[in-house]
Chain A
Amino acid sequence: MVSGEQIDSPFTIHHMSVNIQIDSISKKYADVMALNNISLSIKSGELFGFIGPDGAGKTSLFRILTSLLLPTSGKASIGEFDVVKDYKKIRQNTGYMPGRFSLYLDLTVEENLDFYASIFNTTVKENYELIKDIYVQIEPFKKRRAGDLSGGMKQKLALSCALIHSPHLIILDEPTTGVDAVSRMEFWELLKKMQKMGMTIIVSTPYMDEAALCDRVALMQNGNLLAVDTPNNIVKSYKGSLFAVKAYNMHKLLDDLGSLGDTSQVFRFGETIHITSTINDDKVYMESVNKQLIDKGYKDISIHKVNPVIEDCFLSLMDKDVE
């Protein structure tokens, strides 16, 4: 049990449970429904991802969880604290990294970190162990102004700032958006490390490939939850067999594949087009597609079966949601 008095004293991350309960939360702006009756729970110690495009409602949900916004209806709690009633306690124990890195661009790296440490009544020294792994990478630039840092560096600094008060729970809103691929991978390794230290991590991202790195993910679209499960289970639940098709004249191919029989999903996936068969016999389906394409005059046709990834699942769930 953690009482109000104990909150202010230094705590060990490992012993506080921060199960998160989100109960039919809705948020309405003027006439836009940003969140539509969202319910889910996140277990203490989980690395949980919210995956969805811009406008899915991820930021609104995060702001409600960090007590920055009031939900239009519904309830949410972190551990035993209600996000509306106990907002002061929530703020004390939550690290939040907003979508726009909230750094003071005219302050240096060091000054930013010192400032954030001091507003949480702590010092960089006190919690240095916690941010060491991240901070060593930006330390050479500590005299540089935050505005002059690269995207990846800014992101690491912002994460250090969000971590400096050793929160039990850290909420990261699109931390990897606008950051190069290498920095993105490094960043996820850092998150894994933090999770091992006992922190509960909630992260949002528009990048589907990052979903596989989370323990569990929630797929979101237009304020609705499409699915909540482990990345594996979501992939497994994909209905039908998925095939990647390639040929000349990709643009026309997309249209022609759309008019094929026995086919449910057709969408572009990188260099290929993914189609989903609605019949059980893969061989029969592939031959039938091949034949129809030859009839239409296509050359160099390649069709092969692929395993679905999160993006396929997302697109298929999205279609269903629209229907």
Chain B
Amino acid sequence: MKAFIKKEFFHIFRDYRSMVILFGMPLVMVLLFGFAITNDITNVRIAILDNSKDVVTNQITQKLISSGYFILEDNIESQNDIEKIFTEGRVKEVVVFEADFARKLKTEGKAHVQLILDASDPNTANIISSYTTGVISSYSLELMSQTSMIPVKINIESRMYYNPELKSVYMFVPGIITILLMLVSTMMTSISITREKEMGTMEALLVSPLKPIQIIIGKVMPYTLLSFINLIVILLLARFVFMMPVAGNLVLLIVESLLFILMSLALGILISTISKTQQQAMLLSMFALMLPTILLSGFIFPVENMPILLQYLSHIMPSKWFIIIVKNIMLKGTGILYFWKETLIILAMTLFFIGMSVKKFKIRLE
């Protein structure tokens, strides 16, 4: 058994491809998601159509520009200019204030702002709209406290969601932890077992007195350790590169992660029992697991917005539950009371996969 684990480490450390996947991936992914594929926006060019030109609209405009997110490209004078300025591609957003803005706000307690967005890039449009909305809302709060008048309401016509405090890297880190643990554990184990089949060494292992469970544990141990190291690396990166604190209990986070690692490993073994070649194992892990993990787990797209069928599908994604747990611990700082159900689900999945793979592990060829 010890020899088996030692051998497995030799395989990993001597194959530069596995080394790249094991240790390059976490770094690249965290940095990539953190810096490049960021949802944060800066220096978005906007235009203002101010039909009121009073103190309030002026102040809002100043707020927008001084926020750092927006650059005022142009002040336009009529509705007709909107289309023109969009087709020229000069701005991403036009902010329209209705006439008599300040007066309406004072007398009626509400006024309208219209945000018109260049939605050719819907994601960016979404984000820009939320940022604008954020700035205007904070202004209206300010206004209320300053004047202590009856609640004022600035109506913003926008279908977009509002999520101002959440920096994108905070959203990505739980997702990346999930993807990486899954990738390393599931893909690497399934590949390393199928490699033995492909190289013909499985024949030799099978004719040896080794029990299936010994082979499985021998395979799994090194990857558990490496996944764990990976987890620590990502947490350190999040903490010291992106200044993202862990709000909740770090030990709890690590324990939950170990459970998830165990589940992924069991899944990897299961995949290896049904695939004959390394390539098959890799494709299965990639397409059957990675893509759904990214797309259906709520990592990028909120599960609530999916069609019902996909929502149901997302329930069987172990990653979905784990992301909920990680978000709870890292962002909300809640304890086990808030996600014991999710933990149980993952535990059940783990037991299921272990049972299946021990059962399906073949003591013979074919």
The interface of chain A, by Cβ under 8 A from chain B, is 63, 66-70, 87-88, 91-92, 94, 96, 98-107, 111, 114-116, 118-121, 161-162
A118 contacts across to B, CB distance below 8 A: 2-4
Q: Which residues of B contact A102 (CB under 8 A)?
A: 199-204
- Interchain CB contact under 8 A, B364 and A111: no
Binds A, one of B92-100, B119-127, B207-215, B227-235: B207-215
CB within 8 Å for A67 and B4 given contacts A91-B209, A96-B204, A106-B15: no
- With A104-B7, A105-B199 in contact, do A116 and B207 touch (Cβ < 8 Å)? no
Bound together, the chains give a CA A87 to CA B207 distance in angstroms of 9
Is A66 in contact with B207, judged by CB distance below 8 angstroms?
Answer: yes
Q: Contact at A88–B199, with CB atoms within 8 Å?
A: no
Instruction: Decide if A107 touches B10 in the complex (CB within 8 Å).
Output: yes
User: Is B206 at the interface (CB under 8 A from chain A)?
Assistant: yes
Instruction: Select one of A68, A101, A104 contacting B11, CB under 8 A.
Output: A104
CB distance from B57 to the nearest CB of A (A): 70
Bound: A107/B199 CA distance, A? 13
B210 in contact with A119 (CB, 8 Å): yes
Q: B4 to chain A: which residues have CB within 8 Å?
A: 115, 118-119
Q: Which of B3, B11, B200, B203 contacts A106 (CB 8 A)?
A: B11
Q: Contact size class for B?
A: 20 to 34
CB within 8 Å of A: which residues of B?
2-4, 7, 10-11, 14-15, 199-210, 363-366
Cβ–Cβ < 8 Å partners of B199 in chain A: 100, 102, 104-105
The dominant DSSP class at the B interface is helix
CA distance A289 to B262 in the complex (A): 78
CB–CB A111/B206 < 8 A: no
Sort A-B residue pairs by CB-CB distance and give the 6 closest, nearest first: A118-B3, A100-B200, A102-B204, A102-B201, A119-B208, A98-B203
Residues on B with beta carbons closer than 8 Å to the beta carbon of A106: 10-11, 14-15
In the complex, the answer to whether B203 meets A107 with C-beta atoms within 8 Å is no
Q: How distant is A26 from chain B, measured CB to nearest CB, in Å?
A: 15
User: Which residue in chain B gives the minimum CB-CB distance to A88?
Assistant: B209
24 A-B pairs with C-beta separation under 8 A: A67-B364, A69-B366, A88-B209, A91-B206, A91-B207, A94-B207, A96-B204, A96-B207, A98-B204, A100-B199, A100-B200, A101-B200, A103-B201, A104-B199, A104-B201, A106-B10, A114-B3, A115-B7, A116-B204, A119-B205, A119-B209, A120-B208, A121-B209, A161-B204
Contacts of A101 on B, CB cut-off 8 Å?
Answer: 200
Known A96-B204, A121-B209; further 12 A-B contacts with Cβ < 8 A: A63-B203, A63-B365, A68-B203, A87-B364, A102-B201, A107-B7, A107-B10, A107-B14, A111-B7, A116-B208, A118-B2, A118-B3
Contact, CB under 8 Å: A69 / B365: yes
Partner of B3, one of A66, A94, A100, A115: A115
Q: Determine the distance from Cα of A103 to Cα of B203 in the docked complex, in whole angstroms.
A: 11
Contacts of B202 in A (CB 8 A): 102
B21 CB to nearest A CB, Å: 16
CB of B148 to closest CB in A, whole Å: 75
A121 CB contacts on chain B under 8 angstroms? 209
* Cβ distance A105 to chain B, nearest Cβ, rounded Å: 7
Please indicate the chain A residues that have their CB under 8 angstroms from the CB of B200 in the complex.
98-102
In chain B, what residue has the closest Cβ to A70?
A: B364
Complex CA distance for A113 and B14, rounded to whole angstroms: 18
Measured in the bound complex, the distance between the Cα atoms of B211 and A91 in whole Å is 11
- Measured CB to CB, the nearest residue on chain A to B202 is A102
Is the pair A69, B209 in contact by a Cβ cutoff of 8 Å?
no
In the complex the two chains form, what is the Cα distance from A120 to B206 in whole Å? Answer: 11
Which chain A residues lie closer than 8 Å to B15 at the CB level? 106
The residues of B that contact A100 with a CB separation of less than 8 Å are 199-200
A68-B364 CB under 8 A given contacts A100-B199, A106-B11, A111-B7: yes
Residues of B within 8 A of A87 (CB): 363-364
CB distance from A142 to the nearest CB of B (A): 15
> In the complex the two chains form, what is the Cα distance from A3 to B335 in whole Å?
57
Q: Given A111, A115, A120, which contacts B209 in the complex, CB threshold below 8 Å?
A: A120
- What is the CB-to-nearest-CB distance from B12 to chain A, in angstroms, rounded to a whole number? 10
Distance in angstroms from B40 CB to nearest chain A CB is 44
Contact of B3 with A68 in the complex, beta carbons under 8 Å: no
- How many angstroms between the C-alpha atoms of A66 and B15 in the bound complex? 31
Which residues of A are found within 8 Å of B210, using beta-carbon distances?
119
Chain B residues, CB < 8 A from A88: 209
Q: Give Cα A100–Cα B11 distance, bound, in whole angstroms.
A: 19
> Please, how many angstroms separate the alpha-carbon atoms of A91 and B215 in the complex?
15
